[in-house]
Amino acid sequence: MCGRFAVTLPPEAMVNLFSAVPANDPPDVPNYNVCPTNSVHVVTSDDGSRRLQAMRWGFLPHWYKTPNDGPLLINARAETIAEKPAFRAACRERRCLIPATGFYEWTKDGEGNRLPWYISHEDGSPLVFAGVWQAWDKGETPLVTCAIVTTAAEGAMKEIHHRMPVTVDEENWPLWLGEDGKGAAVLMQEPPSDGFRIYRVDRAVNSNRARGPELIEPIE
């Protein structure tokens, strides 16, 4: 799964990276501890015109009467996304890209303490997660929400967690966004990249109130 991540790219850099038009409500960055229900940067495409906008991380299906009407859907499994009622329409019609600098996963020691690990590209380049999005308008304030697509972990990641985000390489962004027609499902079936740097970080990140660049500093 993916339950926390970090974003350090300035909005201007994201606009240039994706050749996107920025919206007027970008989330604050850098954010070294992006948590569920936070506002995150998301790239969408409408007839080939890309937009960088803010969405709530935590997908709300159209039948939820309130944001707390069911489970918090921050992830969507690649293996079942096309079948699940919550995600199947979004998988066909509302795919998006979610940029990140890295993400966190946890193991446990012999005493049951949660030990955080930080995962990023070895070369320092941004991660781009496959996502799906949904507009939800059942409350007083309409929300645009998203979830990160996950797949089975491979390589060194398997030692940390059995799931990981689906990452999309730049040459495949048009396919995932629907700009290159149909066939995006193949991107969820490709083996995950093994070009990751993985290291332990301080347990301070276990708190959703923790902030600051020290959260991604490696520890012995």
The residues annotated with a catalytic role in the active site are 2, 105
Q: Helix H segments across 63-151? A: 88-93
The two tokens of residue 123 are 């070369």
User: Which residues, other chains included, contact 144 with Cβ-Cβ below 8 Å and sequence gap of 6+?
Assistant: 53, 54, 55, 56, 133, 134, 135, 136
Closest CA to 115 of 42, 205, 181, 46: 205
d(Cα 53, Cα 164) in Å, to the nearest integer? 24
Q: Is the distance from CB of 44 to CB of 55 less than 8 angstroms?
A: no
Distance between CA 177 and CA 159 in Å, rounded? Answer: 31
